Structure 1
């Protein structure tokens, strides 16, 4: 999606693309309107000389070249993403991390490594976490106490058990439509089964300082105009366990019927009119509030994903300002058994057949030794795990040599020492 926009953006040169399959990358360039004169498989030097885009399968060529300023990490693979980010930082490059799975895994350490290298680490504008951070920043800068923030989602409890084989029947497209559109069933299933909302909620919490619900996301259903009423504390008639947390609002009622004017594709912030004067302002301007007139919300109903990524590029390139970045580690996403798992089975990560991601307060996750979802790829189980049981480090055989494992453990040790 960004490739479809970048040629129309003045002042930006997409120098190079690294892909496991350069031929597939070139096909995607053609698919979004590039012509063959605009890209090549020559070299970065030629691309810089002629204003073209170099396509390669060697990612280190991109992270080490001195004339490349910003790296967009968009593999979707958290283990690879950590390695790419660290290499970019070491070579003085800013990073836009589209791979939010890596941010949920060890984002606060990635941000710290970037600061140490005097470069910028940023969430990707267009994805919901960065957009939610933007709304939270707006509310706080305007002087409003933030009650909650988050995103929308199409959710029913039964979706938790969905696999790549069942995703399309729930998603709303046919298997043929998905195939023609190049839609990856495992990736889309990570959204459907609640994993991606957990990951993105963790990213929002860690970039804003908001907390996470003690028992995980509850997905209350509601429309855009229901947000001020839903996103207030339970003792005041809302769905929040307390003020100052993240949550996700469902576009489906529990009986499966759709909520009109939903926030499924968008983000929102709920905030408080904490004085009589401000509540009178709400009333005078006839904004939608909860019945008490105390709580209001702002929202962006749509996110356009890669079509909006240029905002991060411009923000970093011109302002040296991230579009959202971790400032703490409040929320963790824990690998949880999607079904009864047997000893010897191999975990298949986000959106697969074996595990889903559950949002949990980071302090609880670390105290109990839970396995972060971002590392639950190709790991062998050493014991049987019951359905809905969170996994722990001791339940798997893991490669301790990976940069992702080492950075996560460095973050855990640092937090333990701080505590």
Structure 2
């Protein structure tokens, strides 16, 4: 149940899991598992998923442990964890796992950035351009506010006869038919995952291969050179889901690895942080695994070469 690890270095950890004959799995009950179960059910009926969505009650990228202290205390939760829910970081990690398990992308960095949709879930397909999502093969997204729903899948059917039956069965006229689940019960559902792994060696949401969507770090406030970044769900950064190609070519700093990075320069609020903006903590295994992940899946060795160099102001350019 660690979406941050799964979204940041999950693909390379899956490589090691297979080499050692063990199962690395997400879990039922958490949103990625709930969404993937729904995707499989929809595909099993012969439909083609086009949008896989999550739903939030609140989205404010500037929330922090101070603003969330009261809510955290009320429910005996960790304020930083609650903040990662509120500022959009957690949902970005979760949707990245789903993207990597399906090959779906984001329409743009940040997904829909918390656009509100408080209408009928049966009409939610109208907010998407079917041609646009078809062109991408499918997208992951989230909205804020839809009542009595936790996750949704919008799918189409190519057979006119089956389209008629879907309309008859109160699913609407399409082309995107909505399927949804109104809850996720977290630890209550985790035993299903244990059974799937133990009995069937079945991973709940494994990546297809390398990353398709990742989570970049964005400044939550104006940041100053010399400051050391705190962790996600804290005061300095929030995460946004971004297509892996943009993440790699722009050298974005992953939100999952921000803690302990020292800023080389000032960063404006809402600017995306890059590797060129920071000095990494020395000797982190997570950085080496991330560099190996790039090389293994793309052949790109820039991060490995950069990690080997003294971190001068132009070292990123030299690695590039």
TM-score range, shorter chain: 0.7 to 0.9
Q: 1:167 aligns with which of 52, 68, 76?
A: 68
Q: Is the 8 A contact 1:234 1:241 kept in 2?
A: no
Q: Does 1:304 find its partner at 2:185? A: yes
How far is 1:131 from its partner? Answer: 0.9
Aligned to 1:42: none
Among candidates 305, 312, 315, match of residue 196 of structure 2: 315
Residues 350, 241 of structure 1: CA spacing in aligned structure 2 closer, same or farther, 3 A cutoff? farther
Report what 1:401 is aligned to.
283
2:68, 2:192 → 1: CA distance?
Answer: 31
Change (3 A) 1:155 1:240: farther
1:247 aligns with 2:141: yes
Tell me by how many angstroms 1:340 deviates. Answer: 0.7
- Partners in 2 of 1:208 and 1:232 — Cα distance? 21
- 2:124 aligned with 1:221: no
2:40 matched to which residue of 1? 137
Contact 1:385 1:391 survives alignment (8 Å): yes
Aligned to 1:285: 169
Specify which of 20, 41, 47 is matched with residue 117 of structure 1.
Answer: 20
| Contact 1:213/1:241, CA 8 A, preserved across alignment | no
- SS across alignment from 2:97: helix
Higher relative contact order (CA 8 A, sep 6+): 2
Residues in 2 aligned to 1:240 and 1:197: alpha-carbon distance in whole angstroms: 23
Quick one: distance in 1 between partners of 2:174 and 2:274? 45
The residue number in structure 2 matching 1:340 is 222
Partner of 2:101: 207
The CA distance in 1 between the partners of 2:100 and 2:294, in whole Å, is 15
> Does the 8 A contact of 1:230 with 1:240 survive in 2?
no
Answer whether contact 2:88 2:239 (CA < 8 A) is retained.
yes
Alpha-carbon distance, 1:397 to partner:
1.5
How has the CA–CA distance of structure 1 residues 235 and 127 changed in structure 2, closer, same or farther, with 3 Å as cutoff?
A: closer
Partner SS, residue 139 of structure 1: helix
TM-score (normalised: structure 1)? 0.67
Q: Secondary structure at the match of 1:365?
A: helix
Instruction: State how far apart, in whole Å, the 2-side matches of 1:381 and 1:418 are.
Output: 25
Structure-2 separation of matches of 1:402 and 1:243 = 36
Determine the C-alpha separation between the residues in 2 that align with 1:366 and 1:415: 12
The offset of 1:189, in angstroms, is: 0.6
- Alpha-carbon separation, structure 2, partners of 1:262 and 1:343: 45
Asked whether the 8 Å contact 1:230–1:239 carries over to 2, the reply is: no
CA distance 1:282–1:124, change in 2 (3 Å)? same
Count of residues in Structure 1 that have an aligned counterpart in Structure 2: 299
Q: What's the counterpart of residue 238 of structure 2?
A: 356
Q: Does 1:383 align with 2:277?
A: no
Is 1:234 aligned with 2:129?
A: yes
Check 1:294–1:409 CA distance in 2 against 1; reply closer, same or farther (3 A cut).
same
In structure 1, list runs of 5 or more residues that go unmatched.
1-97, 169-174, 252-258
TM-score (norm 2): 0.86
Distance change >3 Å, CA 300–CA 178, structure 1 → 2: same
8 A contact 2:109–2:240 mirrored in 1: no
RMSD: 2.3
Structure number with greater Rg is 1
Deviation at 1:105, TM superposition (A): 0.3
**Unmatched tracts of structure 2, length 5 or more:** 302-320
* Distance (Å, rounded) in 1 between the aligned partners of 2:293 and 2:58: 32
Deviation at 1:200, TM superposition (A): 0.7
| The one of 325, 345, 368 aligned to 2:206 | 325
Secondary structure at 2:260's aligned position in 1?
strand
Tell me how far 1:180 sits from its aligned partner: 5.3
